Amino acid sequence: LDGSYDPDNIFAKILRGELPCVKIYEDDVVLSFMDIFPQAPGHVLVVPKEAARNALELSDDALAAAMLRVKRIGNAVKAALAPDGIMIAQLNGAPAGQTVFHVHFHIIPRSDGAQLAM
Ligand code: 5GP
């Protein structure tokens, strides 16, 4: 979990508009877009705009505000897709499975009988 923030990580580039994304929602706190390799249909990412590698390094205010967006976007996914369940996941550090080192939350619809990849 130690190291420094790389401003050229993929999500930083998406936040700056240097790379495209399929945008779901945006405000002053977060940008939300579709995961490019979805684990299930409707797999959405919620990315705080504050520069931090992981949730443990995000400011209290940004974390609290981001979680409210995760809840709202999760409810929007629920309303749109009516999945049987919704996983909210957030990985900190490569050993935990993190691959993009700008803090983000996964919202992953789950349906009965579907195989779990995470
Ligand atoms: P992590 O394992 O770090 O929690 O998750 C990173 C997520 O970002 C993965 O689910 C991966 O599919 C997604 N991802 C990686 N590169 C891109 C990209 O360029 N665009 C989008 N939309 N998602 C990406």
Here the ipTM equals 0.99
Residue 117 lies in a domain: no
Nearest CA to ligand 1 atom 1: 98
Pocket test for ligand 1, best of 23, 24, 36, 54 (most atoms within 8 A of CB): 36
Pocket test for ligand 1, best of 15, 99, 106 (most atoms within 8 A of CB): 99
pLDDT (tens place) for every residue of the chain, 118 residues total: 888 999 999 999 999 999 999 999 999 999 999 999 999 999 999 999 999 999 999 999 999 999 999 999 999 999 999 999 999 999 999 999 999 999 999 999 999 877 777 7
Total domains, the chain: 1
> Which residues constitute the domain of residue 65?
10-110
Residue 3 lies in a domain: no
Domain at 56, CATH number: 3.30.428.10
- Name the burial class of residue 101, with classes exposed (0-12), middle (13-18) and buried (19+) by CB atoms within 10 angstroms of its CB: buried
- Beta carbon of 37 within 6 Å of any ligand 1 atom: yes
- Which numbered atom of ligand 1 lies nearest the CA of 21? 22
Residue 5 lies in a domain: no
The yes-or-no answer on residue 43 being catalytic is: no
| Global pTM value | 0.96
